[in-house]
Amino acid sequence: MKANKIIALITLSVLGLAGILFLATSSLYKKKSRALDITFPAPEYFPNSLGCFPNIITVILSKDRRVFYYEGGESAFFPHPPPIVYFRATKPDTIIYEEKIDLHETKLSLKNGIGDVISKFNSETERALLKLEEEKRIANMPDSVYQKKKNSIRLNSSAVTIYIKTDSGPKYGEVVELIDIIKLKKVAKFWTEEITQHELKVLNETLTKTPNQSKP
């Protein structure tokens, strides 16, 4: 009888501990989920069948409405996908691989700015979407079929993926403006990402070398 009581007490203790752990982990999960809704990290991308990295560009906003971009990206899951990889021999028979960010400046605008840059990298997808719209008009394609095909095109591996990043300079409204431009360009794959130290270093060097000419 005494042994049965001991076993029962042990069982209740284990169940109680399991319940506490469940509540704790559930609480942490919910908190984590809420955070992910705000700053969802980009998924890890792997080279496609041709051995090339997917079509990724990074757009960085800074103060005074300055906007920069480069081909490639550094994300939470994939911290070092080199946009350009070169190597230099500092010692005989020694090759050091370095990552180089080739940063370009453009304007925060749909035309003659970042909108045109997006079209440059997403031209294949934009042509496919225009062709689909024409097919829908001619064949009187049902909306459900059209939407399914449209989503397939926008999420294709060749479609551009955009990482949106900022330093401490831009205003919230400028980030919203950039996202509006991206949506107008019918880009489906874009995420906000925290700027890396590597990117911030290159950005600060660029800001120092090329001060804002349009600033009064």
Question: pLDDT tens-digit profile of 73-90?
Answer: 886 555 444 443 333 444
The range of the structural domain enclosing residue 167 comes to 56-122+160-209
The reply to whether 45 falls in a domain is: no
User: Rounded CA gap, 115 and 173, in Å?
Assistant: 17
User: Rounded CA gap, 113 and 105, in Å?
Assistant: 9
Counting the structural domains of the chain, the total is 2
Query: Does 66 share its domain with 5?
Result: no
Of 20, 120, 19, the residue nearest 69 (C-alpha) = 120
Query: Does 200 share its domain with 165?
Result: yes
Query: Does 180 share its domain with 117?
Result: yes
Query: Does 4 share its domain with 111?
Result: no
50 and 85 Cβ atoms separated by less than 8 Å: no
pLDDT at residue 123 greater than cutoff 90: yes
Tokens 């205003």, located at residue = 171
pTM: 0.68
The reply to whether 138 falls in a domain is: no
The reply to whether 48 falls in a domain is: no
Confidence of residue 117 (pLDDT cuts 50, 70, 90): very high
The reply to whether 136 falls in a domain is: no
The reply to whether 113 falls in a domain is: yes
Query: Does 4 share its domain with 69?
Result: no
pLDDT tens digits, 49-67: 444 457 899 999 999 999 9
Of 32, 55, 78, the residue nearest 126 (C-alpha) = 55
- pLDDT value at residue 135: 94
